[in-house]
């Protein structure tokens, strides 16, 4: 019995050493240059004052976000009139109320994907060899989240619009598209900036993924909604609810 117990302890010790060796092997597989560059940048940021932290890299990222967000401006100003005439003033205002709600939910999903991916990269759970599997799994998770939240938001829109099926389905699909896009961009941004551009994903991935999510969310809610409602069949608009000069 003592011989068996000693052998079992020795085997357990060998397994622990093997696990430790695997961890350090994974750590060593990371580019030394990348680790050193990341440490140097982190130390430089720590020693910087508030002006050096704000300018120029973080400001540049925000200006790039501003430029990317310009299509959202054109989508809302250019596609709003015809959508309002199609569904009426009341449901159009309701749709505009759902827009920031859908954006917040999809942004939360994107933030989850970005935070989890950044942590996985820092712990070497995701590497250049395994990032595609990680990305596929996260997109599948975003699909499930988008479906559930799309049904929930769609049902809420159906109730709020006085049981307009086309309106509820449209809002639900818009929410689904927004979350699916956010899950993809939130996951792919840290991978892109860490493995390809070798930049600080904390500075760059957040603003850019947010901009893309806003573009897709506005597209789904303004442009896609119009064609979906036309295809599903809009509810008749009352005379007092029409948009335009005659309806004011």
Residue-wise pLDDT for 192-248, tens only, equals 888 887 776 666 677 777 888 888 888 888 888 889 999 988 888 887 878 764 444
Residue 132 lies in a domain: yes
Q: Is the pLDDT of residue 55 over 90?
A: no
What's the CATH number where 167 sits?
1.10.357.20
Can you tell me the distance from the alpha carbon of 146 to that of 143, in angstroms, rounded to the nearest whole number?
5
Residue 7 lies in a domain: no
What is residue 61's predicted lDDT score, i.e. its pLDDT? 78
Residue 219 lies in a domain: yes
- List the structure tokens of 114: 């970005």
Residue 112 lies in a domain: yes
71 burial type by CB count under 10 A (0-12 exposed, 13-18 middle, 19+ buried): middle
Q: Is the peptide bond before 56 cis (omega within 30 degrees of 0)?
A: yes
Residue 17 lies in a domain: no
Domains of the chain: total:
1
Residue 102 lies in a domain: yes
The whole model's pTM is what? Answer: 0.75
Residue in the structure block whose two tokens are 């070798």: 198
Confidence of residue 26 (pLDDT cuts 50, 70, 90): very low
Confidence of residue 68 (pLDDT cuts 50, 70, 90): confident
Residue 230 lies in a domain: yes
> Whole domain around residue 163: which residue ranges?
67-237
Residue 35 lies in a domain: no
């Amino acid at each position: 019995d003592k011989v068996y117990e000693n052998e079992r302890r020795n085997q357990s010790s060998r397994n622990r050493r093997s696990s430790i060796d695997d961890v350090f092997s994974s750590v060593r597989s990371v580019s030394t240059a990348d680790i050193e560059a990341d440490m140097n940048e982190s130390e430089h940021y720590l020693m910087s004052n508030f002006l050096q932290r704000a300018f120029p890299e973080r400001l540049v990222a925000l200006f790039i976000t501003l430029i990317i967000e310009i299509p959202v401006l054109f989508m809302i100003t250019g596609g709003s009139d015809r959508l309002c005439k199609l569904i009426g003033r009341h449901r159009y205002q309701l749709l505009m109320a759902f827009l920031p709600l859908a954006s917040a939910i999809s942004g939360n999903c994107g933030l989850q994907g970005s935070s989890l991916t950044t942590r996985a990269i820092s712990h070497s759970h995701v590497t250049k060899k395994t990032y595609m599997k990680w990305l596929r799994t996260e997109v599948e998770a975003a699909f499930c989240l988008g479906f559930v939240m799309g049904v929930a938001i769609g049902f809420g829109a159906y109730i709020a619009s006085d049981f307009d099926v086309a309106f509820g389905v449209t809002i639900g699909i818009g929410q689904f598209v927004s979350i699916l896009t956010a899950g993809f961009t939130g996951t792919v941004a840290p991978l892109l900036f860490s493995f390809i551009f070798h930049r600080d994903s904390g500075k760059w991935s957040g603003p850019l993924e947010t901009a893309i999510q806003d573009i897709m969310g506005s597209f789904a809610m303004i442009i896609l909604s119009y064609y979906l409602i036309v295809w599903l069949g809009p509810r008749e608009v009352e005379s007092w609810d029409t948009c335009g000069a005659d309806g004011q």
